[in-house]
Structure 1
């Protein structure tokens, strides 16, 4: 496949949907960063640290409440998204998620004082009141996002995710700042604006769902068979197991860091982490475009074309993300200055995490490549192993190195997981994903293609 044919194929497959998806993923990637920037300006590193811990609890509650059902919706709804049964799958996911999300929300609200005392982080209880009430809305928004992906609406799905909620919350914080003096901006406002934002995004998604169901002819219930319900629950459990790796990286790591670090140190780590994610923003867009093509080429047995596509996708991500990476490496103090005063000590943390994200981008969509070619169990094992080791790093390193230790632990997870997956892609598929010389071939490592 020549370069001209590659770009022609890419353009033909995506068209206007690519632009919409790019914008939606941009909102998702930079919405969370925008909220951190606003909070940094209003509350400083300590405020960002309090928010990081509260958000970690929110993400954990969302993962437990969804139990993989958002991904199960992608599979079961996506098989025949014009079937009248799609509404029943959505109803099943709604019922099962609300049974968990509502009690979790109540528990967080009632135990917020004990949680603040456990982490010794003043102001956390005030934030958790709003965050706890937001858990059901947040969970439902992500369930709807999975449904939208199943009915071939990836851009709409992107506007239901955490980044969109964060963007609305950031706007509400700025709006409240226009009416209240800075000294009246209590840290508890974060929880309330997040609650309002989550409710708004969930309501918007619900309206879109009603309209889509009415147009699609799936407006009336058609109960799915018990066997199909059993399959849906089984698939949800499988996806939930895969999500445990995300739970370890996104939730447990933050909670452990919050226990071992002060609010200010946790704020420095969170700000560096959120900015470094901008380096991998392009990879998020690539992962929204290329995986279906990976699956198609593999199914057709076009392994050479698959290899070319994977490498060119990695090269595209590397080229487009390089400017973000260079800014983070060369002038991290200037970047962190956008958050306000007191964030300059996170400069080295940002350099470390930006380099780790660069490895993430340079290795390409190795996780999706394994998942799309029947090696999803291998990817699941890699993710669980690397995140478990990283969790051990989060327990040990911050005690010795503070926020720097947390950054090193996270960097290890990102680098190790992607490098091991890259090696397994070569071993199982005979595809080298890095846009450069095949080091493993030079070392005499041969693929074991089945």
Structure 2
């Protein structure tokens, strides 16, 4: 009861506005990704969703490699002094390097699309990859702009430059191309995604121009030299890139492995279940956009009691908001999956498994950010890399005998293990228990290192 009362009091105060704005911006992004899958499921069936899943995984992988952690480096260095005119120099460094890398990857994707289709055995993939190759530079630069806007304290604008907004606009373009221009075939997916990526980037460039015009930087010669040089920026980007490899394994390599081992239809069912279950963890994405700076401040102040209370409040809020969607996924999965088309309700067992894993993800709270914001980022990086590597290996073990169900089990295993291991180390290193349940660590006699 005290925790619930404290949470209710906090939501009436300074955090309510931040949560509301971020919830709206993140909601557009999250629903955009789901809406595109619904559109593709209705128009192309599970096979089409499977081909899209492979193409999108290749695009995400290209963007992660091309931006090389520079979006997070921008968020860090721009955020340190976002009123300095030198922040534009950091953005130009990042954009120049990312544009060159993404262009090379785009050309490789375009000319190698036939080999990729043959390798994955996905008919129609080469058609989609024509548009995807065109989208690659814009998609990559959009993430860099997003990192920049996070640094200048514009998180809502930043959210609208990432994957979800592109997907939402791509879904609209697919419908328009089908309904009014009567275009058919898999190539429509790629062209719609290319158009959406460049339109979103154009909107970001316009927002950047407006922001730049409001800065009072008329006398630039008198400003001091930038505190960050190219070498420091590159070194920081490399560190963030290593941390992003865990996400690369989870969002890119896992889909590629599943696409290689499963049929297009099986991959489509798996992708649909995964995307739908993401609705459960949506509130955690919102919380992770707001709470981490507060974690860092409380840790610097040495206020572990307030830090632990805030972490538990975040986990409790996540469980409360996620519960209705979880119940629908568990007890009415066919109704939810029916939105994608008549063949998708057969993925109900997959959705139930991934939904339960997402519940663990939400219930453990922001354990990853707790470690990252309190000087334990190397530990969290190692946890993520090892757990995702094990989970990726599980795809090879579970998919051959169990098909799409095995992919769902492997994905859920990696997600649950990573969160439980992080939960353990948050308790050991910080003495904080985030689960809104009795502390089993105390019952097992496991004490935090702070007590020693």
Establish whether TM, by shorter chain, passes 0.5: yes
Contact 1:54 1:127 in 2 (8 A): yes
Aligned partners of 1:66, 1:58: CA distance in 2, in Å? Answer: 12
Aligned position for 1:186: 185
**CA offsets 1:241-276 (integer angstroms, 9 cap, x no match):** 000001111111111111111100000000000000
Alpha-carbon deviation of 1:213?
1.3
Please name the residue that 1:373 is paired with. 374
Q: Identify the residue that residue 389 of structure 1 maps to in structure 2.
A: 390
Q: How does 1:50-449 map to 2 (within 5 A)?
A: 50-180=51-181, 185-218=184-217, 228-449=229-450
The 10-residue stretch of structure 1 (12-21 or 397-406) with the greater mean CA deviation from structure 2: 12-21
Give the 3 Å change call, closer, same or farther, for CA 171–438 of structure 1 in structure 2. Answer: same
CA contact (8 A) 1:165 1:194 kept: yes
Are the equivalent residues in 2 in contact too, given 1:349–1:404 (CA < 8 A)?
yes
Give the Å deviation of 1:16: 3.9
How many residues matched? 448
Q: Quote how far apart the aligned CAs of 1:397 are.
A: 1.4
User: C-alpha deviations, 1:258-309, integer Å up to 9, x for none?
Assistant: 1111100000000000000000011111111211111111111111111111
Q: Following the alignment from structure 1 to structure 2, what is the Cα–Cα distance between the partners of residues 393 and 270?
A: 17
- Which residue of the partner structure matches residue 20 of structure 1? 21
Q: Specify the SS of the correspondent of 2:442.
A: helix
Counterpart contact for 1:85–1:218, Cα < 8 Å: no
Q: Normalising by structure 2, report the TM-score.
A: 0.96
Residue 176 of structure 1: how far off its partner (Å) = 2.2
In 2, Cα distance between equivalents of 1:139 and 1:67? 10
Shift of 1:313: 1.0
RMSD across aligned positions (CA): 1.8
Over 3 Å counting, the alpha-carbon distance change for 1:348 and 1:157 in structure 2 is same
Answer whether contact 2:18 2:290 (CA < 8 A) is retained: no
User: Structure 1's 444 and 103: CA in aligned 2 closer, same or farther, altered over 3 A?
Assistant: same
Range moving further from structure 2, 86-95 or 170-179: 170-179
Cα shift readout 1:8-57 (whole Å, capped 9, x = no counterpart): 55554345443221111001111101000000000000000000000000
- How big is each residue's C-alpha offset from its partner over 1:199-235, in whole Å with a ceiling of 9 and x where there is no partner? 0000000111111112123587989669622111100
**The residue matched to 1:290 in structure 2 has which SS?**
helix
TM-score normalised per structure 1: 0.96
Cα distance in 1 between the residues matched to 2:55 and 2:395: 18
SS in 2 for 1:216: coil
- Structure 1 position 401, deviation (Å): 1.1
After superposition, the Cα gap between the structure-2 partners of 1:46 and 1:206, relative to the gap in structure 1 and judged at 3 Å, is same
2 CA distance for matches of 1:217 and 1:42? Answer: 50
Are the structure 2 counterparts of residues 2 and 345 from structure 1 closer, same or farther at C-alpha, using a change threshold of 3 Å?
Answer: closer
Shift of 1:100: 0.3
Counterpart contact for 2:86–2:226, Cα < 8 Å: no
Instruction: Give the conservation status (yes or no) of the 8 Å contact 2:3–2:313.
Output: no
Q: Distance in 1 between matches of 2:275 and 2:3?
A: 37
Q: How many angstroms does 1:120 deviate by?
A: 1.0
CA distance in 1 between counterparts of 2:167 and 2:130 reads: 17
3-state DSSP of counterpart to 1:185:
coil
Secondary structure of 2:449's partner?
A: coil
> Which stretches in structure 2 are left out of the alignment for 5+ residues?
none
Q: Deviations over 1:395-420 (max 9, x none)?
A: 22111211111111100111000000
Confirm or deny: 8 A CA contact 1:88 1:223 kept in the other structure: no
Structure 1 residues without counterparts, runs of 5 or longer: none
* Partner Cα separation in structure 2 for residue 10 and residue 365 of structure 1: 18
1:162 deviates by: 0.2
Distance in 1 (alpha carbons) for counterparts of 2:224 and 2:74: 16
CA drift of 1:87 comes to: 0.2
The 1:136–1:352 alpha-carbon spacing in structure 2 relative to 1, beyond 3 Å, is: same
1:338 is paired with a residue whose SS is helix
